[in-house]
Every structure is written in C-alpha cells, then in structure tokens.
Amino acid sequence: MSDTIYLDHAATTPMHPEVIEVMSEAMKHYFGNASSIHQLGRESRGIIEEARRTFAESINANPQEIIITSGGTESDNMAIIKSAEKYKGKHIITTEIEHPAVLKPLDYLSKQGYDITYLTINNDGQITLEQIKNALREDTFLVSIMYGNNEIGSMMPIQKIGHYLKEEHPDVLFHTDAVQAYGTEEIDVRESKIDLLSVSSHKINGPKGVGFLYKSNQISLAPLILGGEQENKLRAGTENLPAIIGFKKAVEVRRTNKKETKESYLYFKKLFISKLQENNIDFDINGTIEDSLSHILSVHLNGIPSDKLLIHLDLENIAVSSGSACSAGTVGHSHVLTSLYDENHPAVEETIRISFGLGIKEEDIIKSVDKIKKASIFLKGK
C-alpha cells in the first residue's frame, strides 16, 4: 500500500502525521463528556470551543456561527432541508452538477412540493450571475451553488452571487458546498456574503466523520437531530472529541501552508498536462484549468475507456478515479460530464479525474503518465 501512487485526493485524503499524533494523544487523555460539569467535562468543552474558534477564523466567521457536524453530507443536508423547514417560499435554485449530498436533499424536497431550478453549465463547467438573476422568483428562498466542482474542478462566481443576492434579494438564503475548495481557496464568508457553508475534514488530511456547517447569525435553522443541547440545540449528540481535535490540527496545518500547497498542486497539474503532451496522448481537458480548483484535473483520454484504464492503473499501484467517489458503484454516467456534454459524448466514458495532495512527488506524475501511455497503447490495440 505504501508503494501506491495516490492521485485521488478529491475522494479522500490521508491523515497528516500531526493529525494522527494529536488524535492518539486525545484518545489517551481526553475522554470527559463536554456536557459534564466536572473538571474532565470542562476540559473537553474548552477543547471543543477552541477548535470552534479555529474553524471560524479560517473563514472569517464568529465561533457561534460554527455548527460541528459529521462531515460535508450532513452539513449540506442540514443547510438545505432545515432551512426549508424554517423559511417561507417553495423555490430553490441550484446547478446540475452539485454533489449528491446537495442533489439528494433537493430531490427529497421536490417530493414535498418544492420547485427546484437546476441551472445548466457552460463549456467551462460554470454558471453565470445572469442565470441566477433570470431564475429568481418571488417564492425563491434558497440558492445553493457549490464553490468548486468535485469532478472537474470548475469554480463558480460565489462572491458575485453573494453580493447580488444581499443587495437585491436580501431575504434569499445563499448556501455553498465548499468541501473541495476549503483546503486551497481563501474563503471569507463576510466578504462573499454567504449565509451557509459546508466543510469536511477528510478532504484536508483530517479524520473522517467530522466537518462543520457555517450558519450566519443573521439566519435561523430548524434542529437537525433532537436530543441534548449540543451545538446550540441544533445538533444533539455527544461530541467526537478526538475527531474534532484532529480536524482542528488539519485546519491549522493547511492554513500555515495554504499558499505553498496551492502552488504545488498547480505545478503538478501543469506537469501532468505537459507530460501527456510529450507522450503524444490524445486528450482534452474537461471544463477549464484557468478558473478551477488547483488540485483537480479532469481529462478526457480520447478512445480509452476509463473503466478499463482504471483497472490497468490499479494493477500498477496507481490510484485515480473516473469521477465522484460518492457515486462509485452506481449505475449510470457522471451527471457532471453529461451536463457538460451530453449522455452520448465519448468523454462520458473516457474521462479520468486526477487529484493531487499530500505526499505527491514530481516522479509520481512522470511515472503515472508513463503508465497511462502504456495502458493506452494496449487498450487501443485490442
């Protein structure tokens, strides 16, 4: 396993050594229930509130605006379903290429009588502010647009949308799924006028099973889980202290190295593309590389079935994907690629997603492209 070249960091990331260290110590020493009034409980409570401050600072929010959750999926569900329960209006605007953690709650709401407008994307995999303006109605109460796409990396005009909504439609809530963007992009919820924002730990070298939802103090949500009074009575349940501690450390490490991390990913992306060109591999970029997440590269390898290529690469200990890990094993094509092209476009079955992260070296990129070249020759020759 240690010999595997892991190029699927958009699916999940290995935990940073410092994260593993602090979590191990937490499991040994911090077991008090944060709701208890004795010393051990107060100690745990203090640790959680310190982590909450760290999360808040990372997006320029107030600590009381951070709801600690089990991850991105829960955060998205809470933002969408619980805002629907709290606010008037029956219309929601989103895009066709959202993560299933957004699309499935919206599908649930549509069955409850809500009307959902799904915006189409352009050739760069993006939407425009004009589309938002044209889709808004008197009964619109929520706009949910992802910060950056998890399959093709395209980024959306979040700040433009946020400013427009606050200036022209202040009663409409603005949610963004920032799970893929949080680790590399500078996110400022105040500057971007965001009401709700979802984040997950395991995308930034933290543990799985923890994340947070930013909820502006200016809005209200119905509780997600009923029981105790944790998370300001919005999410009951005893907190997972080791995971929260690990998440906090992951945020601290990433914030310290964010600029260098992003620059390294951009370098690897350019290197990967240049090596494909040097090896005369017939390819196209899905979406755009100009305004996209630095760690994600979606490539259409013309004439090479992605399912067969993935098997070849896996046998060579190279881990890549053909799209969202959350949709793996399901029947059907990528909804992102079918939105970008159409159901019958070759790219739908000939695309791989490369995503960079901790531990990647230049020689890994060179070796991976070499293996893709050899696999493509074999597959095209069959």
User: In terms of residues, how long is the chain?
Assistant: 382
- The helix/strand/coil state of 99 is coil
* DSSP secondary structure of 253-300: HHHHHHHHHHHHHHHHHHHHHHHHHHTT--EEESS-STTB-TTEEEEE
Tokens of 32: 């008090």
The Cα–Cα gap between 356 and 360 comes to: 7
Neighbour tally for 190: CB within 10 Å: 12
The Cα–Cα gap between 218 and 159 comes to: 18
Query: What are the catalytic residues?
Result: 326
Which strands form 66-69's sheet, in the order they lie side by side?
Answer: 66-69, 211-215, 196-200, 173-177, 140-144, 91-95, 115-119
* 298 Cβ contact list (under 8 Å, min separation 6): 151, 152, 153, 285, 286, 287, 351, 352, 353, 354
- Cβ atoms of residues 210 and 220 within 8 Å: no
